[in-house]
Amino acid sequence: MRRFLSAFAADHDTAVIKPSALPPKEISRLIETVSLSIENPLLKLKFIHAALDRYAHTCRVMVVPSLDAKLTKQVLLEALDLLVPGHRIIIADPETALAAEKPLRRIRAPRLSQMTVLIGLVLVMSTTYWVQARLGIKAHNAAVPIYRWATEGLERKSESTPHSSISAKLESPADWGVRSAKAADSSPQATYDAASLPEIWMVEEKSGYEFYSNGLNISTEFAVAGRPRRYRTFDRADGALSEIKERPAGLLYHTSEGDVAPFERRFNRLLNRRTRELLQYIKQDHLYHYVIDRFGRVYRVVNETEVAHHAGFSIWSDESDVFLLLNQSFIGICFEGRWSESLNSDPPDGASTSATLRVITRAQLEAGRLLTDWLRQKYHISDSNCVTHGLTSVNPQKFLIGHHLDWAKDFPFRDLGLSDKYQKPLPSITEFGFAYDDFFLQVMGRPWPGINLAMGQLQARADRDKISYETLRRKLNRRFAHQLAQLRGETEGDKDFGRADLSQLTNALDGQP
Amino acid sequence: MKAEKETPESLESVETTCKPENGLAAIGLDIGTSRIVCSQAPTEFKTQLNAFIGVAYSKFAEQMLQRNGIDFYRHNGELFVLGDGAEKFASMFNHEVRRPMSVGLLNPGERDGFEVIQLILRRLLKKPKPGGSKICFSIPSAPCGMETSLVYHENMIKRFLTELGFESKSLNEGLAVVFSELANENFSGIGISFGGGMCNACLAYLSIPILTFSLGKAGDWIDSSVSVVTGESATRVRVRKESALDLSAPPSHKIDEALHIYYEEMILDLVRSLTRSFVESRNLPTLDKPIPVVLSGGTSKPRGFREKFENALRATNFPLAISEVRLAADPLNTTAKGTLMYAMYDN
Ligand SMILES: Nc1ncnc2c1ncn2[C@@H]1O[C@H](COP(=O)(O)OP(=O)(O)OP(=O)(O)O)[C@@H](O)[C@H]1O
Ligand SMILES: [Mg+2]
Ligand SMILES: [Zn+2]
């Protein structure tokens, strides 16, 4: 930290440091939370400096959205560690010991027992909980925006020039990923048909859980009543608005993106605690229908026939229908885990189980399969409507895909008995002319094959209609705004929809050729 | 799945202390216009007025000083009385003391100034420990246009401390106040020192100085302004100010009346300039909590000062939300305490 401070300690200017050099609010708040529990002023000062310093080091190499939570924890622990040698730490809450593994060992070393520090380590628990609450779960909704904030400079410019047909041409889908796609697609269609599964029935229902014949065990301890589903879809061919529907049409997979404890025996208690906190939070805000914890336990939160707020602005379509605002029509399944964990690994693939297992545990994968099978069978959900949040989430104002990115790659479609949606032309592009921007590329490395396929289709269509790709895009963008407007009355209670400023959206479009 | 039981073994409480376990001895040094304060432990302060008086050498004067137990030095045919003794001597002979520093920095009009500071420092500081001793000393923010003088001031002190065998570093006075007083607020807030030569302020967030600021109007300015309008000597004004001034009650004396006026003027000027520099700074972070303001320094000591300052602050359109305005625990030693903390930092 010396570097950080000495540069300023004797600074003679009125303005000493730019706030931009300070970490984002979320991080500062976290540092504050921790340091509030440190009583010794000097140690507190050292801790703050160390934390800021670590942060300054680390944030430069941060390339991943929603990494903040993990990073911060690491930053804080390192900072603490710096203080620990030669000092005694008192841990207020014994349970935090689990998380504060290192300092704890130090405490036990006898020769260090004449020491001085008093750190009310409500810390790691309270903060990680805090992280989880602020950055994590909510950040499932907020993490990417947080990152966006951090890369603002980079991003603003690029958003005005979304990538469109150019990259579709440059990066032909043949480059990569297609072989696996072919392999997947050539396997008999029946594989993905839920009707072909042996019948699954409820074996037993007790207070607190339901047990099914395929081994699926659903805890209902956290179940909460919601608002019934009522939604309409658009006909893919002619855009006609459908009747009101109430049956769940698809499955949408998420990750919690919250802070997760290492999957090790010694963190058992912490793992459990995190899950409980996550569930409480999800229950409170009706965020998902199902949660699958690190041990593969399945929890029902919101009933499938009711609405959960998991999808935000989102687009999907099957062969016949186009779905907008998937909260209304899809069942949200959240894997407790951090998808962003897999980001620095390989290019989007969708086929590699090892990449998937960086995000979720094998137990989660297996539970995910059981839950998927049962839900698909129960509601006659077709394979084509089993998709991930990252594939469907959009920014409607800017007509950009990838607003949320959870499971934008590495989702184990095949392991769940589903076809690989990364290989399917992306509906938000084919139907509504959405695009991606530089930010998306920064995070993803490259678009998944379905994006290129979709752009290729759009380009072909533009060529056929003898208009430019851009003109076609605009036309489709307008169609999106129009359709969204039609849903307005239908989805009154939907808070995501409520947030949309449609007039702004249509204005933006009116200015276009 | 059964959870393992894990309980930390010993959780008995231990005392906290700021003393370095090992490493260098640490010393905090507040080199103020009016007083030099030295601190080697959080509650231990030694102080000397940063003043001197010189009289032409004579046997009589020498005996007089000796009889009164006042330390002095013979210097170039003069007798120098330093620090607190200078005050006594001055009142004895109805002289004005001379000041090695003015407005926070080495006084360019005082030829012997730096030498005097050296002598005072030698008196205050013990010899460096064999393992080495680390000193952190306070420096003000340079008033506009005085940046080079600050560089000179800082380096002269640094050099001298090095000569004495200390490792040294400097710390902005406003930030020292933050370090000393705002630990409970995670070192976020505004620290202000109202000294003799100047007022120094610093807005810090998580101990990082966001903005520092100084005003060359403080105790000395009040003394000399009151002296001008009342015809009393600045020293007598100061003595009255330090012993009897109550800003919470209406003034009952001519000197008090003038003191009230200049106190108010100083406060207003500070609040206005501070507001302006905050408003003009495009660097202000958005803070989501109101922040505290801590007042310190000798000039903040009179009764009613805090209230007067808070009223003035609340009356302006200050760009940051303020949670409270409070007085430092020990206003005369606040800066020294902050520097000590920063001196101990590296241990
Ligand atoms: N009780 C008191 N009431 C009013 N003023 C006081 C009191 N005690 C000291 N002062 C004034 O405070 C000033 C000295 O304060 P302090 O020691 O904080 O300043 P300094 O650090 O030497 O100066 P600077 O910080 O400006 O360089 C003098 O002007 C002195 O007259
Ligand atoms: Mg001072
Ligand atoms: Zn999601």
Q: A203 and A125: one domain? A: no
Is residue B100 lining ligand 1, measured as CB closer than 6 Å? Answer: no
Which SS3 state, helix, strand or coil, does residue A118 take? coil
Q: Which helix (H) or strand (E) holds B192?
A: strand B189-194
Question: How close is the Cα of A402 to the center of ligand 3, in Å?
Answer: 11
Residue of higher predicted confidence among A108 and B188: B188
Q: A271 and A329: one domain? A: yes
Average pLDDT over residues A187-208: 76
pLDDT for A508:
37
Nearest to B53 by CA among B33, B31, B79, B16: B79
Q: What is the pLDDT of residues A362-389, one digit of tens each?
A: 999 999 999 999 999 999 999 999 999 9
Q: Which residues contact A266 (CB under 8 A, 6 or more apart)?
A: A98, A101, B4, B6
What is the sign of the dihedral through the CA atoms of A225, A226, A230 and A232? negative
Q: A185 and A114: one domain? A: no
Chain B residues in contact with A108 by the CB 8 A cut-off are: 8-10
Q: What's the pLDDT band for B303 if we cut at 50, 70, 90?
A: very high
Q: Kindly report the pTM of this predicted structure.
A: 0.53
Q: Which residues contact A268 (CB under 8 A, 6 or more apart)?
A: B1, B3, B4
C-beta atoms of B142 and A91 within 8 A: no
The whole-chain average pLDDT of chain A stands at 71
C-beta separation of A21 from B210 below 8 A: no
Question: How close is the Cα of A288 to the center of ligand 3, in Å?
Answer: 9
- ipTM of this predicted structure: 0.85
Average pLDDT over residues B86-90: 80
Is residue B338 lining ligand 1, measured as CB closer than 6 Å? Answer: no
The answer, yes or no, to whether residue A234 has pLDDT greater than 80, is yes
Q: A106 and A213: one domain? A: no
User: Would you tell me which residues 201-230 of chain B have a C-beta closer than 8 angstroms to some C-beta of chain A?
Assistant: 205-213
Q: A135 and A202: one domain? A: no
Question: How close is the Cα of A22 to the center of ligand 1, in Å?
Answer: 34
The CATH number assigned to the domain holding A228 equals 3.40.80.10
Q: A205 and A347: one domain? A: yes
Average pLDDT over residues A429-442: 90
Give a yes or no: residue A367 inside a domain.
Answer: yes
B69: left (phi over 0), alpha (psi -120 to 50) or beta: left
Residue of higher predicted confidence among B226 and B109: B226
Domain end: A121, A143, A165, which one?
A143
pLDDT for A48:
86
C-beta separation of A96 from A121 below 8 A: yes
Q: What is the pLDDT of residues B307-344, one digit of tens each?
A: 999 999 999 989 899 999 999 999 999 999 999 999 99
Residue of higher predicted confidence among A175 and A16: A16
Q: A334 and A216: one domain? A: yes
Q: In angstroms, rounded to a whole number, what is the distance separating the alpha carbons of residues A441 and A63?
A: 11
Q: In angstroms, rounded to a whole number, what is the distance separating the alpha carbons of residues A299 and A284?
A: 14
Nearest to B247 by CA among B261, B230, B228: B261
Tell me how close the Cα of B33 comes to any Cα of chain A, in angstroms. 18
C-beta atoms of B208 and A52 within 8 A: yes
**All residues with CB under 5 Å from ion ligand 2:** B 32, 193, 195, 335
Q: Hey, of B5, B7, B12, B16, which one would you mutate to test binding to chain A, going by the most A CBs within 10 A of its CB?
A: B16
Chain B residues in contact with A16 by the CB 8 A cut-off are: 209-212
Tell me how close the Cα of B128 comes to any Cα of chain A, in angstroms. 22
Give a yes or no: residue A408 inside a domain.
Answer: yes
Which domains, ranges and CATH numbers included, belong to chain B?
9-50+99-345 (3.30.420.40)
Query: pLDDT over 90 for what percent of chain A?
Result: 40
Domain end: A379, A400, A422, which one?
A422
- Output the residue whose Cα is nearest ligand 1's atom 5: B299
Is residue B242 lining ligand 1, measured as CB closer than 6 Å? Answer: yes
pLDDT for A259:
76
C-beta atoms of A9 and B170 within 8 A: yes
Question: How close is the Cα of B4 to the center of ligand 3, in Å?
Answer: 33
Tell me how close the Cα of B14 comes to any Cα of chain A, in angstroms. 6
C-beta separation of A269 from A95 below 8 A: yes
pLDDT for B258:
96
Query: What are the φ/ψ torsions at residue B38 (nearest 5 degrees)?
Result: -125, 135
Q: What's the pLDDT band for B68 if we cut at 50, 70, 90?
A: confident
Edge-first strand listing for the sheet containing A321-324: A234-235, A321-324, A315-317
Average pLDDT over residues B266-270: 96
C-beta separation of B171 from B134 below 8 A: no
DSSP string, A29-78: HHHHHHHHTB-SHHHHHHHHHHHHHHHHHHHTT--STT-HHHHHHHHHHH
Where are the alpha helices (H) located in chain B, listed in sequence order?
A: 59-67, 83-93, 113-124, 147-164, 173-181, 219-230, 234-244, 254-280, 305-315, 334-344
Give a yes or no: residue A160 inside a domain.
Answer: no
Residue of higher predicted confidence among A139 and A46: A46
Tell me how close the Cα of B76 comes to any Cα of chain A, in angstroms. 35
C-beta separation of B347 from B21 below 8 A: yes
Q: A183 and A136: one domain? A: no
pLDDT for A376:
96
Point out which residues pair with B44 in neighbouring strands: B41
Q: In angstroms, rounded to a whole number, what is the distance separating the alpha carbons of residues A167 and A174?
A: 13
Please compute Rg for chain A using Cα positions. 25
Q: A119 and A206: one domain? A: no
Which SS3 state, helix, strand or coil, does residue A420 take? coil
Q: A193 and A136: one domain? A: no
Residue of higher predicted confidence among A93 and B161: B161
pLDDT for A486:
86
Number of domains in chain A: 2
Q: In angstroms, rounded to a whole number, what is the distance separating the alpha carbons of residues A15 and B284?
A: 9
C-beta separation of A299 from A276 below 8 A: no
- Output the residue whose Cα is nearest ligand 1's atom 19: B195
The whole-chain average pLDDT of chain B stands at 86
Angle at Cα A70 formed by Cα A65 and Cα A73, nearest 5°?
140
Q: What is the pLDDT of residues A68-94, one digit of tens each?
A: 455 555 556 666 655 544 333 333 332
Average pLDDT over residues B31-35: 95
Q: In angstroms, rounded to a whole number, what is the distance separating the alpha carbons of residues B160 and A312?
A: 66
Average pLDDT over residues B123-139: 86
Which one of the ligands is nearest to B153 CA? 1
| B156 Cβ under 8 Å from any chain A Cβ | no
Edge-first strand listing for the sheet containing B78-82: B52-56, B78-82, B72-75
pLDDT for B41:
85
C-beta separation of A343 from A410 below 8 A: no
Q: In angstroms, rounded to a whole number, what is the distance separating the alpha carbons of residues B334 and B171?
A: 13
pLDDT for A491:
53
pLDDT for A209:
93
C-beta separation of A302 from A248 below 8 A: no
The CA–CA distances, whole Å, from B338 to B135, B141, B195, B296 equal: 12, 16, 15, 12
Average pLDDT over residues B230-255: 91
Domain end: A376, A400, A422, which one?
A422
- Taking each helix axis as running N to C, give the angle between helix B113-124 and helix B147-164, from 0 to 180 degrees, rounded to the nearest 10: 40
Q: A287 and A414: one domain? A: yes
pLDDT for A448:
92
The answer, yes or no, to whether residue B347 has pLDDT greater than 70, is no
Point out which residues pair with B325 in neighbouring strands: B293
Query: What are the φ/ψ torsions at residue A396 (nearest 5 degrees)?
Result: -70, -30
Q: A307 and A378: one domain? A: yes
What is the sign of the dihedral through the CA atoms of A268, A271, A274 and A278? negative
Q: Hey, of A3, A8, A33, A115, which one would you mutate to test binding to chain B, going by the most B CBs within 10 A of its CB?
A: A8
The answer, yes or no, to whether residue B266 has pLDDT greater than 80, is yes
Q: Which residues contact B217 (CB under 8 A, 6 or more apart)?
A: B198, B199, B266, B269, B270
Domain that holds residue A224: 179-422
Among candidates B151, B206, B345 on the partner chain, residue whose Cβ is nearest the Cβ of A42: B345
pLDDT for A31:
79
